[in-house]
């Protein structure tokens, strides 16, 4: 029995139950309003693809490194009073997701700085005793709340603090949109989004990137030549897209 038939059967059972309940009332009269169809809500999920990897290390990490993450500047054209709080909020969600995935044994998020050069960021990471520095940018975002369109693109870079070398370059994107309502004979199906849809998108992207980093940072280097595997992901190095 497919989904639609199950729903129709459930609606018919509900109508019959309502009629029986009405018949059992003191007035002994059944009154069932069939003019209004039942409404079923479908909780939408984040639509995203496998993270695009442009730079990755050819060997697993020799040891589980600690990392410092800084806010990713928003490169989309926004007012300065909007860009900084949005950046820090989204990056805090990304950080929470990567901590949940245990991407690094220690992953600190420092949002005390927003505008910085790579050298300044590396110096800060070195002072905090971090092995890796996580920076990046947010080139695109749309927030439509629980009723509109929500999209997010995040570009993340991981640098070796000692050498400044770029170890990882990853871009991930996702969307969470309200779908049009669908009308059936006995019911109507409506799309439902989380209260903070952009939060859900950022959590999903952070989780995906955290899993990639976990596989590298916690891999066992058996022959010193194995590279991390991404299902369907690109190999080697490519130029990042121009946003």
Question: Domain spans of the chain?
Answer: 1-36, 44-186+193-217
Q: Are 62 and 230 in contact (CB under 8 A)?
A: no
What is the secondary structure of 73-116 as a DSSP string? PB-SS--HHHHHHHHHHHHHHHHHHHHHTT-SSSEEE--S--S-
Radius of gyration of the chain (CA): 25
pLDDT for 194 equals 65
Beta-bridge partners for 40: 189
Is residue 173 within a helix (H) or strand (E), and if so which, with residue range?
A: strand 166-177
CB count in 10 Å sphere of residue 127: 10
* Residue partners of 66: CB distance under 8 A and separation at least 6: 104, 105, 106, 107, 108, 129, 130, 131, 132
In degrees and rounded to multiples of 5, residue 139 shows phi and psi of: -80, -20
Residue 70 clears pLDDT 90, i.e. is over it: yes
66 falls in which pLDDT band (50, 70, 90)? very high
Q: Are 209 and 99 in contact (CB under 8 A)?
A: no
pLDDT for 45 equals 74
Among 144-158, 163-177, 228-242, which is the least confidently predicted range?
228-242
pLDDT for 230 equals 43
Q: Between the CA of residue 155 and those of 137, 151, 180, what are the distances in Å?
A: 5, 14, 31
- Residue-wise pLDDT for 192-242, tens only, equals 566 678 888 999 999 999 999 999 998 754 444 434 444 333 333 334 434
CA 203 – CA 53 distance, rounded (Å): 19
Residue 179 clears pLDDT 90, i.e. is over it: no
CB count in 10 Å sphere of residue 224: 9
**pTM summary value:** 0.70
Map residue 119 onto helix, strand or coil. Answer: helix
| Mean pLDDT, rounded, of the chain | 76
pLDDT for 25 equals 44
pLDDT for 43 equals 61
Question: What region does 236 belong to: left with phi over 0, alpha with psi -120 to 50, or beta?
Answer: left
Write down the residue that tokens 């920076």 correspond to: 135
CA 132 – CA 125 distance, rounded (Å): 7
- Residue-wise pLDDT for 83-125, tens only, equals 899 999 999 999 999 999 999 999 999 999 988 999 999 999 9
Is residue 201 within a helix (H) or strand (E), and if so which, with residue range?
A: helix 197-217
Percent of the chain with pLDDT over 90: 47
Of 34 and 71, the one with more pLDDT: 71
* Third-level CATH fold of 44-186+193-217: Rossmann fold (3.40.50)
């Amino acid at each position: 029995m497919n989904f639609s038939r199950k729903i129709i059967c459930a609606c018919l059972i509900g109508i019959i139950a309502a009629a029986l309940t009405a018949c059992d009332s003191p007035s002994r009269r059944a009154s069932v309003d069939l003019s209004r169809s039942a409404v079923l809500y479908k909780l939408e999920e984040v639509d995203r693809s496998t993270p695009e990897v442009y730079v990755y290390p050819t060997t697993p990490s020799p040891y589980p490194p600690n990392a410092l993450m800084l806010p990713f500047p928003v490169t989309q054209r926004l007012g300065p009073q909007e860009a900084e709080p949005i950046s820090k909020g989204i990056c805090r969600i990304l950080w929470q997701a990567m901590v949940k995935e245990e991407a690094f044994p220690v992953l600190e998020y420092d949002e005390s700085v927003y505008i910085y050069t790579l050298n300044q960021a590396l110096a800060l990471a070195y002072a905090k005793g971090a092995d890796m520095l996580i920076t990046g940018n947010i080139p695109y975002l749309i927030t439509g709340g629980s009723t509109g369109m929500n999209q997010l693109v995040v570009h993340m870079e991981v640098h070796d603090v000692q050498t400044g070398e770029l170890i990882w370059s990853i871009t991930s994107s996702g969307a969470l949109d309200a779908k049009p309502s669908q009308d059936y004979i006995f019911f109507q199906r409506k799309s439902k989004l989380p209260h903070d849809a952009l939060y859900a998108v950022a959590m999903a992207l952070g989780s995906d990137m955290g899993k990639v980093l976990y596989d590298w940072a916690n891999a066992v280097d058996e022959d010193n030549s194995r590279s991390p595997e991404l299902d369907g992901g690109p190999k080697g190095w490519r130029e990042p897209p121009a946003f």
